[in-house]
Amino acid sequence: MYVIVFFVQPRKIHIHDTQAGERSLKSLDITLENQKEDENLSIGMVTKAKLRRLLDEGDTNLQSIDKFYDGVRAFYSTAFAYCTKWLPLDNTLLKNCFC
């Protein structure tokens, strides 16, 4: 579930208690309002440099870069959904690594 730190604002990561008194990642709000700005998304230094160079050289435009970041957000959101569905979230190790 480490994927959430790549695209969700740290102050928005709250793991809520369930009715049974356990903590759950499934209730985490990963909507666009709680995600990081494009320039703060974790895409790697090389990728950021390449995007900057493509834009500076005129080989791409802001609309294409926005579309790229939309794809990054879709990837992270899908990875988060997959993890919350298939990982054993009741595992003690997984529960305690987000506290």
Amino acid at 73: R
Percent of the chain with pLDDT over 90: 37
Do 73 and 8 meet the contact criterion of CB atoms below 8 Å apart? no
- Residues of the chain above pLDDT 70, percent: 70
What phi, psi does 25 have (nearest 5°)?
-85, -20
Distance CA 90, CA 92 (A): 6
pLDDT for the residue numbered 97: 66
Residue 24: DSSP 8-state? E
pLDDT in tens, 19-59: 544 556 666 778 888 888 899 899 999 999 999 999 999 99
CB-based contacts of 91, cutoff 8 Å, min separation 6:
none
Residue 89 has pLDDT above 80, yes or no: no
